Protein backbone atom coordinates (compact mmCIF):
# COMPACT_ATOMS: atom_id res chain seq x y z
CA UNK A 1 0.00 0.00 0.00
CA UNK A 2 2.60 2.57 1.17
CA UNK A 3 3.07 5.74 -0.84
CA UNK A 4 1.22 4.51 -3.87
CA UNK A 5 -2.00 4.48 -1.87
CA UNK A 6 -1.40 8.09 -0.87
CA UNK A 7 -1.03 9.17 -4.50
CA UNK A 8 -3.91 7.33 -6.12
CA UNK A 9 -7.26 6.99 -4.53
CA UNK A 10 -10.34 5.75 -6.26
CA UNK A 11 -13.21 6.38 -3.89
CA UNK A 12 -16.90 5.90 -4.49
CA UNK A 13 -19.20 7.99 -2.32
CA UNK A 14 -22.72 6.91 -1.51
CA UNK A 15 -25.57 9.11 -0.34
CA UNK A 16 -27.89 6.35 0.82
CA UNK A 17 -31.57 7.20 0.97
CA UNK A 18 -34.68 5.07 1.30
CA UNK A 19 -35.57 5.40 -2.39
CA UNK A 20 -32.32 6.32 -4.10
CA UNK A 21 -28.55 6.08 -3.71
CA UNK A 22 -26.64 9.08 -5.02
CA UNK A 23 -23.19 8.12 -6.24
CA UNK A 24 -20.07 10.22 -6.76
CA UNK A 25 -16.51 9.40 -7.71
CA UNK A 26 -13.22 11.25 -7.86
CA UNK A 27 -10.49 11.74 -10.41
CA UNK A 28 -7.30 9.71 -9.91
CA UNK A 29 -5.55 12.62 -8.20
CA UNK A 30 -8.14 12.49 -5.44
CA UNK A 31 -8.77 16.22 -5.71
CA UNK A 32 -12.16 16.59 -7.33
CA UNK A 33 -15.40 14.78 -6.61
CA UNK A 34 -18.14 14.59 -9.22
CA UNK A 35 -21.59 13.10 -9.20
CA UNK A 36 -21.76 9.99 -11.37
CA UNK A 37 -25.23 8.48 -11.18
CA UNK A 38 -28.23 7.78 -9.01
CA UNK A 39 -29.44 4.25 -8.36
CA UNK A 40 -33.18 3.88 -7.90
CA UNK A 41 -33.27 1.37 -5.07
CA UNK A 42 -34.81 -2.00 -5.81
CA UNK A 43 -33.91 -5.35 -4.28
CA UNK A 44 -30.63 -5.36 -2.33
CA UNK A 45 -29.14 -7.82 -4.85
CA UNK A 46 -29.86 -5.38 -7.72
CA UNK A 47 -28.40 -2.44 -5.79
CA UNK A 48 -25.26 -4.50 -5.10
CA UNK A 49 -24.93 -5.52 -8.74
CA UNK A 50 -25.04 -1.89 -9.91
CA UNK A 51 -22.50 -0.92 -7.26
CA UNK A 52 -20.27 -3.86 -8.20
CA UNK A 53 -20.21 -2.73 -11.84
CA UNK A 54 -19.24 0.83 -10.83
CA UNK A 55 -16.56 -0.45 -8.44
CA UNK A 56 -15.01 -2.63 -11.15
CA UNK A 57 -15.24 0.00 -13.91
CA UNK A 58 -13.65 2.68 -11.71
CA UNK A 59 -11.18 0.41 -9.87
CA UNK A 60 -12.56 1.66 -6.57
CA UNK A 61 -10.51 0.97 -3.45
CA UNK A 62 -12.63 2.68 -0.78
CA UNK A 63 -16.30 3.45 -0.16
CA UNK A 64 -17.18 6.77 1.45
CA UNK A 65 -20.65 6.85 2.94
CA UNK A 66 -22.55 9.84 4.24
CA UNK A 67 -24.02 9.27 7.71
CA UNK A 68 -27.02 11.41 8.58
CA UNK A 69 -26.22 12.33 12.19
CA UNK A 70 -28.88 14.05 14.26
CA UNK A 71 -28.21 17.73 14.87
CA UNK A 72 -27.05 16.88 18.42
CA UNK A 73 -24.37 14.57 16.99
CA UNK A 74 -26.08 11.27 17.83
CA UNK A 75 -26.87 8.51 15.35
CA UNK A 76 -30.58 8.17 14.69
CA UNK A 77 -32.69 5.49 13.09
CA UNK A 78 -31.83 6.47 9.50
CA UNK A 79 -28.08 6.62 10.26
CA UNK A 80 -28.15 3.11 11.74
CA UNK A 81 -29.99 1.92 8.62
CA UNK A 82 -27.31 3.48 6.41
CA UNK A 83 -24.53 1.89 8.49
CA UNK A 84 -26.13 -1.54 8.21
CA UNK A 85 -26.46 -1.15 4.42
CA UNK A 86 -22.87 0.16 4.05
CA UNK A 87 -21.45 -2.68 6.16
CA UNK A 88 -23.21 -5.28 4.00
CA UNK A 89 -21.95 -3.60 0.80
CA UNK A 90 -18.44 -3.35 2.28
CA UNK A 91 -18.37 -7.09 3.12
CA UNK A 92 -19.81 -8.25 -0.21
CA UNK A 93 -17.58 -6.01 -2.36
CA UNK A 94 -14.60 -6.50 -0.03
CA UNK A 95 -13.91 -2.76 0.30
CA UNK A 96 -13.18 -0.64 3.35
CA UNK A 97 -15.87 1.86 4.24
CA UNK A 98 -15.33 5.30 5.74
CA UNK A 99 -18.10 7.52 7.06
CA UNK A 100 -18.56 11.25 6.67
CA UNK A 101 -20.96 13.44 8.63
CA UNK A 102 -23.46 14.44 5.98
CA UNK A 103 -25.89 16.47 8.07
CA UNK A 104 -26.00 19.42 5.69
CA UNK A 105 -25.09 17.94 2.32
CA UNK A 106 -28.64 17.34 1.05
CA UNK A 107 -29.56 20.88 2.06
CA UNK A 108 -26.43 22.25 0.31
CA UNK A 109 -27.20 20.19 -2.80
CA UNK A 110 -30.75 21.55 -2.82
CA UNK A 111 -29.43 25.11 -2.55
CA UNK A 112 -27.13 24.43 -5.54
CA UNK A 113 -30.10 23.19 -7.59
CA UNK A 114 -32.10 26.30 -6.63
CA UNK A 115 -29.14 28.50 -7.62
CA UNK A 116 -29.27 26.85 -11.06
CA UNK A 117 -32.94 27.85 -11.29
CA UNK A 118 -34.07 24.23 -11.27
CA UNK A 119 -36.80 22.63 -9.24
CA UNK A 120 -35.51 20.46 -6.36
CA UNK A 121 -38.69 18.37 -6.39
CA UNK A 122 -38.18 17.50 -10.08
CA UNK A 123 -34.47 16.79 -9.69
CA UNK A 124 -34.30 14.39 -6.74
CA UNK A 125 -31.74 12.14 -8.45
CA UNK A 126 -29.54 15.13 -9.21
CA UNK A 127 -29.73 16.27 -5.57
CA UNK A 128 -28.64 12.78 -4.43
CA UNK A 129 -25.67 12.82 -6.85
CA UNK A 130 -24.64 16.32 -5.78
CA UNK A 131 -24.98 15.34 -2.11
CA UNK A 132 -22.73 12.32 -2.75
CA UNK A 133 -20.19 14.62 -4.46
CA UNK A 134 -20.25 16.97 -1.44
CA UNK A 135 -19.73 14.00 0.91
CA UNK A 136 -16.78 12.81 -1.16
CA UNK A 137 -15.29 16.29 -1.50
CA UNK A 138 -15.42 16.69 2.28
CA UNK A 139 -13.61 13.33 2.70
CA UNK A 140 -11.00 14.14 0.03
CA UNK A 141 -10.26 17.54 1.58
CA UNK A 142 -9.90 16.06 5.08
CA UNK A 143 -7.65 13.31 3.72
CA UNK A 144 -5.47 15.82 1.87
CA UNK A 145 -5.07 17.92 5.02
CA UNK A 146 -3.95 14.82 6.94
CA UNK A 147 -1.27 13.87 4.39
CA UNK A 148 0.38 17.30 4.27
CA UNK A 149 3.81 17.30 5.85
CA UNK A 150 3.99 19.33 9.05
CA UNK A 151 6.51 22.17 8.73
CA UNK A 152 9.55 21.88 11.03
CA UNK A 153 8.43 18.50 12.32
- List the CATH number of the domain containing 108: 3.30.420.140
Rounded to two decimals, the pTM is: 0.84
Q: Are 98 and 63 in contact (CB under 8 A)?
A: yes
In the predicted model, is pLDDT for residue 1 greater than 60? no
85 is a domain residue:
yes
Q: Tell me if 128 is assigned to some domain.
A: yes
Residue 32: CA count within 13 A, CB half-sphere: 3
Kindly tell me if the per-residue pLDDT of 48 is higher than 90.
yes
20 within a domain of the structure (yes/no): yes
pLDDT attached to residue 2: 41
Which residues on neighbouring strands pair with residue 57, listed in sequence order?
Answer: none
> Which of the four pLDDT bands, split at 50, 70 and 90, describes residue 39?
very high
Maximum average pLDDT range among 3-7, 27-31, 75-79 = 75-79
Judge whether 113 and 26 are in contact, CB under 8 Å.
Answer: no
Percent of the chain scoring above 90 in pLDDT: 55
Per-residue pLDDT at 153: 46
Specify the DSSP class assigned to residue 98: E
Q: How many domains are there within the chain?
A: 1
153 is a domain residue = no
* Residue-range definition of the domain harbouring residue 121: 2-147
Model confidence band, residue 7 (pLDDT cutoffs 50, 70, 90): low
Cα distances (angstroms) measured from residue 90 to each of 55, 73, 98, 147: 11, 24, 10, 24
Best CA proximity match to 106, nearest among 128, 73, 76, 136:
128
Does 44 reside within a domain?
Answer: yes
Q: What is the pLDDT of residues 56-110, one digit of tens each?
A: 999 999 999 999 888 888 888 989 999 999 999 999 999 999 999 887 777 788 8
Q: How do beta strands 20-26 and 33-40 pair?
A: antiparallel
Query: Is residue 152 in some structural domain?
Result: no
93 falls within a domain: yes
Q: Tell me whether residue 89 is in a domain.
A: yes
Amino acid sequence: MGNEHAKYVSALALDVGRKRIGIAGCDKTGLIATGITTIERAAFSEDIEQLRQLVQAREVNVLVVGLPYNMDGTLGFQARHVQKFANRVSKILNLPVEYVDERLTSFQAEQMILAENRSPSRNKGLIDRKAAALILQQWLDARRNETRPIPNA
